[in-house]
Structure 1
């Protein structure tokens, strides 16, 4: 069973940059329009993680999913990812994509499959993540939002 989380929009760019920086994630484009970042808390209102996405029509690029170290291993990442994908699906996205710095990722356990960049839609390849924020060696993952 996935933990129940409450999500609130992160509308403080400085706070968002701090959270992402602490997790070792890119921050250069977080204040640009078209990005949605959410702060997640457990039922006790304790911060447990962060996640974001860029809606791209029929696709969505998941961004900056990070779980606070003391909450890892309890399904928080799974819950954050499911919440982000549900929000993207409501906006019309059929496929979710994400970049990682390596082959080892919790996304594989969630049913994401590794794909080559040539398999991604043009909208994903045109994002700042794909064109420069993520190294050319970054691994691209894909999954249908409804599964």
Structure 2
């Protein structure tokens, strides 16, 4: 396996282009409560991006997970998610919203939940309060207690 590192990045045209290529949202990328990363290979090339939004002291929204088109279908999305989850506070409840990748995220321990099971801090994000379609699946990461 190639050497991969997760490096913090600002919102950029490259991040927006990668998200757009995967049909992901770009309308609400800016904000002090959001952090983004690039998955960089040993040659310095960007393989993918990820991000999260801190919603309150107990809840985080995983967002903006994308592998750039030329690197898709090589298992790199799995590594990207693993490295991103490792950046999150261990005690935080981690949520996400997806319209097409629920089976992929289930392999990490995410399970679908009903909208009324998500905390208000998650539901009040721009993604879940209006940008994502109502049909999006909301998922919560099941982790062992800390």
Normalised to the residue count of structure 2, the TM-score between the two structures is 0.85
What residue number does 1:67 align with? 67
Structure 2 residues not aligned, in runs of 5+:
none
1:20 CA drift (Å): 1.6
* 1:1-147 mapped onto 2 (5 Å cutoff): 4-56=3-55, 57-89=57-89, 92-93=91-92, 95-102=93-100, 104-144=102-142
Q: Secondary structure at the match of 1:61?
A: strand
Whole-angstrom CA distance in 1 between matches of 2:128 and 2:11: 25
Whole-angstrom CA distance in 2 between matches of 1:86 and 1:146: 14
Whether the 8 Å CA contact 1:85–1:145 is kept in 2: the answer is no
1:3 CA drift (Å): 6.0
Relative to structure 1, the CA distance from residue 145 to residue 10 in structure 2 (aligned partners, 3 Å threshold; closer, same or farther) is farther
Normalised to the residue count of structure 1, the TM-score between the two structures is 0.84
Report the RMSD for the aligned CA atoms in angstroms: 2.2
Structure 1 residues not aligned, in runs of 5+:
none
Task: Report which stretch shifted further, 53-62 or 103-112.
Answer: 103-112
1:62 CA drift (Å): 0.4
Whole-angstrom CA distance in 1 between matches of 2:78 and 2:101: 17
Aligned residues: 144
How big is each residue's C-alpha offset from its partner over 1:85-138, in whole Å with a ceiling of 9 and x where there is no partner? 221126x52x21111113643101222111111111111011011001101110
Relative to structure 1, the CA distance from residue 4 to residue 113 in structure 2 (aligned partners, 3 Å threshold; closer, same or farther) is farther
Task: Report which stretch shifted further, 40-49 or 3-12.
Answer: 3-12
Relative to structure 1, the CA distance from residue 9 to residue 110 in structure 2 (aligned partners, 3 Å threshold; closer, same or farther) is same
